[in-house]
Homo-oligomer: A and B are copies of this chain.
């Protein structure tokens, strides 16, 4: 039995924490925001929710499929049955690789909230330093700190993990290879359904990369709410623009790509500084000697499946060491 700190309550951190706890360890989580989920996020409005970060996930690896079957049985996810297409200059075409997609219900954070429900997690607590202490690791936050962790897991974006693992230069060197592209997202509501024959689209030849009708997913409120994601290139170029100038540009590009004219009744934009990552394709990082590790989608394949498997994979490595 070891005392382990897990920093970050997105899917990777929670999957890791759960595995560690199930193996008999004492796990304490730290999360800087108010709730679990990370980029599996939702925004509540008076007219329903927008899942403005990750919007669905796919399954390939058997170990993740097993988790997905459990989540299906518990009703925290459901298969997505909406029509997804490729979209280019107003013309749609079928996806070459369709595959089954899943969404969390009633909103994307549901999976992480279920995982976090019976965990010991400090929310709104941002870790500012991880330092070797007299007994194991010491984690510090603005108002205080705590020592005596036998091991530390950093389950946060690479750019945020890097300053916390400088005590182990080899690990920091690996983490410094990771990174996320930003993504500007717009949440747009229309009074009436848009005249479109699809519910979601990968968009080509546009500053928009992806659009989805939020309400096309199971368990959502009625209403014509769309989430638009700018592509990485455009998001990077306009990273420091204001949300109020970005939203109209995304909406205009969406209408142009879809070949429609429409007038939203409500819109807002959200900047994801650390959004999609190509992924380091390394699973996870673990320094067995110093007992500090890093996991996250960006360590694996940059997807939700990767986040889960990175977390459980790191837990397995940690358990076999301690």
Contact = CB atoms under 8 A, between A and B. Distances in A.
A15 to B, nearest CB: 12
A321 B282 CA distance: 17
B202 A281 contact: no
A91 interface: yes
Contact of A97 (B94, B202, B302): B202
Which 5 pairs across A and B sit closest by C-beta, in order of nearness?
A: A283-B283, A60-B278, A96-B202, A93-B93, A281-B309
Q: Point out which of A86, A88, A202, A209 has the most chain B C-beta atoms below 10 A from its C-beta.
A: A86
Contact of A301 (B91, B288, B301): B301
A94 B177 CA distance: 31
A62 interface: yes
19 contacts: A60-B279, A62-B177, A86-B86, A86-B93, A86-B94, A88-B96, A93-B204, A95-B204, A96-B202, A281-B283, A281-B301, A281-B305, A281-B310, A282-B313, A283-B283, A283-B300, A283-B313, A288-B320, A288-B321
Contacts of A63: 177, 280, 282
A85 to B, nearest CB: 10
Contacts of A247: none
Contacts of A91: 93
A249 to B, nearest CB: 20
A291 to B, nearest CB: 13
Given A281-B283, A313-B283, A96 B203 contact: yes
Interface in A272-306: 278-284, 288, 300-302, 305-306
Nearest to A301: B301
A102 interface: no
A202 B94 CA distance: 11
Contacts of A94: 86, 88, 204-205
A91 B88 CA distance: 13
A61 interface: yes
A300 B177 CA distance: 17
A320 B60 CA distance: 30
A177 B282 CA distance: 18
